[in-house]
């Protein structure tokens, strides 16, 4: 009970400090919320959404689960997404993973963890689809980090395919979709992909998430930007990798979504 009582005490101290700085702090936020962002992140206790983004109450609408997975079959996530996009009219949806993610690490292994194995299956698919690239990374930690990044790209692509986002884009509305990874060693958010705001950008993201393109300066993918894959040479390299993958025995045009 001692630890629990600390939570209550800390709440009292925090509320008092907020009121001391601004007597109307809570009243101004009680009437309504107008967040600009929907944050979809991992449930890991080391990555508190408002803390790592430096946002105040009312600025960030939040959904969290194990390993920041986005599935159209997840009624919880889809309900949050629909409310955020259609009611709150958020301008940005951010999928945020983090290095040293326990869910990603579990998905990279062969051990069984019971019910959570069903949840981790999409991440196991990411590992399987990108195995040629991952096997070229000799350092175990670097390979782990890369799967975290690829998982963010995969979940961002899932997000772009949802009817909620597709309908919003069809009406000419945002949201912009972004993918970030939080570095728990440094406390910094690293951009993986930014500005996905149309089907063409989502298609480019689909290539990126499966083509073995190494993590680097994040592409800005949307209509207001330059193409995600700048330069004919790089585009040709990626097209060649995709063709090689499709030509392998047993290939069926890539994983179905």
HSE (side-chain half, CA atoms, 13 Å) at 157: 21
Q: What is the mean pLDDT of residues 97-109?
A: 97
Mean pLDDT of 98-114: 95
Please check the confidence at residue 220 and state whether its pLDDT lies above 80: no
Would you tell me how many other CB atoms lie within 10 Å of the CB of residue 108? 18
H helical segments located in 136-231: 140-161, 163-170, 199-210
Task: List Cβ neighbours of 200 (8 Å cut-off, separation of 6 or more).
Answer: 223
Phi, psi of 136 (to 5 degrees): -85, -10
- Residues 11-26 have pLDDT tens digits of 999 999 999 999 999 9
pLDDT at 1: 84
Contacts of 195 (CB under 8 A, 6+ apart): 176, 177, 178, 201, 220, 221, 222, 224, 225
Break the chain down into helix, strand, coil percent, rounded to 5.
50, 15, 35
For residues 149-175, give the mean pLDDT.
92
- Rounded Cα–Cα distance for residues 90 and 92 (Å): 6
What sign does the CA torsion over 228, 89, 35, 76 have?
negative
pLDDT at position 257 over 70: no
CB atoms within 10 A of CB 106: 19
Q: State the Cα–Cα distance between residues 101 and 39, nearest whole angstrom.
A: 17
Q: If pLDDT is split at 50, 70 and 90, which confidence band does 248 have?
A: low
Over range 186-205, report the average pLDDT: 89
- Phi, psi at 225, each rounded to 5°: -135, 180
- 222 vs 230, which has greater pLDDT? 222
pLDDT for 172 equals: 82
In terms of pLDDT, which residue wins out, 108 or 212?
Answer: 108
- CATH architecture of the domain 32-229 equals 3-Layer(aba) Sandwich (3.40)
pLDDT in tens, 38-48: 999 999 999 99
Query: Per the structure block, which two tokens stand in for 184?
Result: 């728990």
Domain spans of the chain? 1-31, 32-229
Query: Annotated active-site positions, please?
Result: 42, 44, 46, 98, 101
Asked if 50 and 57 touch (Cβ cutoff 8 Å), the reply is yes
- What the block records as the tokens of 71 is 């599935």
* Residue of 98, 14, 111 lying closest to 64 (CA atoms): 98
Q: What CA–CA distance (Å, rounded) separates 97 from 144?
A: 12
């Amino acid at each position: 009970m001692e630890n629990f009582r600390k939570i209550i005490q800390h709440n009292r101290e925090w509320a008092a400090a907020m009121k001391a700085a601004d007597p109307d702090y809570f009243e101004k936020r009680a009437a309504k919320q107008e967040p600009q962002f929907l944050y979809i992140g991992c449930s890991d206790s080391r990555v508190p959404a408002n803390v790592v983004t430096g946002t105040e109450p009312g600025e960030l609408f939040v959904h969290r689960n194990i390993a920041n997975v986005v599935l159209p079959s997840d009624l919880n996530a889809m309900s949050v997404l629909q409310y955020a996009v259609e009611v709150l009219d958020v301008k940005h949806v951010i999928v945020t993973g983090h290095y040293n993610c326990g869910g990603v690490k579990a998905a990279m292994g062969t051990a069984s963890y019971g019910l959570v194995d069903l949840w981790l299956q999409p991440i196991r698919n990411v590992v399987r689809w990108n195995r040629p690239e991952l096997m070229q990374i000799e350092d175990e930690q670097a390979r782990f980090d890369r799967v975290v990044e690829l998982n963010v790209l995969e979940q961002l692509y899932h997000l772009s395919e949802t009817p909620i986002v597709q309908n919003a884009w069809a009406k000419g509305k945002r949201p912009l979709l972004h993918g970030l990874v939080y570095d728990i060693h440094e406390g910094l958010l690293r951009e993986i992909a930014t500005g996905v705001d149309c089907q063409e950008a989502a298609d480019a993201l689909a290539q990126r998430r499966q083509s073995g393109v190494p993590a680097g300066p994040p592409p800005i993918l949307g209509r207001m930007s330059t193409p995600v894959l700048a330069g004919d040479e790089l585009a040709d390299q990626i097209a060649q990798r995709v063709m090689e993958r499709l030509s392998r025995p047993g290939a069926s045009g890539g994983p179905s979504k």
